[in-house]
Structure 1
Amino acid sequence: MHAYIPNSPEAVSRILALSMIVDGHVSPSELRVMHGAPFLEQFKVDDEVFDRTLRELCEDLLDAAANRRAGMVEIDPALLDALMLDIRDPLLQICLWKTMVDIVQADGHLDERETTLVRRAARAWFGQAHASDAFSTAALAS
């Protein structure tokens, strides 16, 4: 997994990208919500950074996949928690969490994997020490 500086545009972009791909596809409504997030400019997340980070995330997930042919990529819960810890600024955590919630609701269908991701972010950022959820994301393997 690519290593990013905590609170960097790449660390933020990776969490946003996870919010979009966790259910196996990116919908136009999710992209609109992400692009409308008011904090992105403040934290220097632009289209170039997001696109590059999304590509790197997908490559990292596919490289780590045990069974790419199955069409599912599982993310280890410990890895997910570690990715969340790259967001350390309390204000950024709040802004990012709200945007994650808006993204997963944008297509009108709340997938269990989306719910798990948002719940784990809340646990990592807002004081709950242990999270036992796991999730997988479909259709990343081509």
Structure 2
Amino acid sequence: MIELIERFEEFTTSVTKAYKCIQKIKFVETERMGLKANYVMYMYYLGKNPEGLTAKELCKLCIEDKAAVSRAIVDLTEKGFVEPAETDSGRKYRTRIILTSEGKEINNRLNEVIAKAVSKASRSLNEAERENFYRVFSCITDNLEMICDSYLQEK
């Protein structure tokens, strides 16, 4: 039992530390670009999907609620970083959002920052260790998600 409690402490402390560091990196780097830190993942996924994504798809990919995504889309549109792929005003939530040319430039800068941070963060790992880490971490997060889902089913 004590070993499990210590493992809990080590895991939660490490995850919290990693999250806080990631947030700090996002904040510092996005401030230079005129973005908010929480827009990184929106820009990232829009860059990966040049055909565009709907707000619903962004919600799912970024693990964000509809209101947060809608606010971000409005702000990013006003800044000229994104635009609707089509102008069908009757389908606002289902309209695909794409990066503008300025948004693509920002996305390229973000990708450079991401690549640099990931490279530096994992520089002491070989490829096999890196692959094993992501496999194990993904397994743990999937199991935690199942635990969370079971709480929802109890209600």
TM-score normalised by the chain length of structure 2: 0.29
* Higher Rg: 2
Structure with the bigger RCO (C-alpha within 8 Å, sep 6+) is 1
Larger relative helix fraction: 2
TM-score normalised by the chain length of structure 1: 0.31
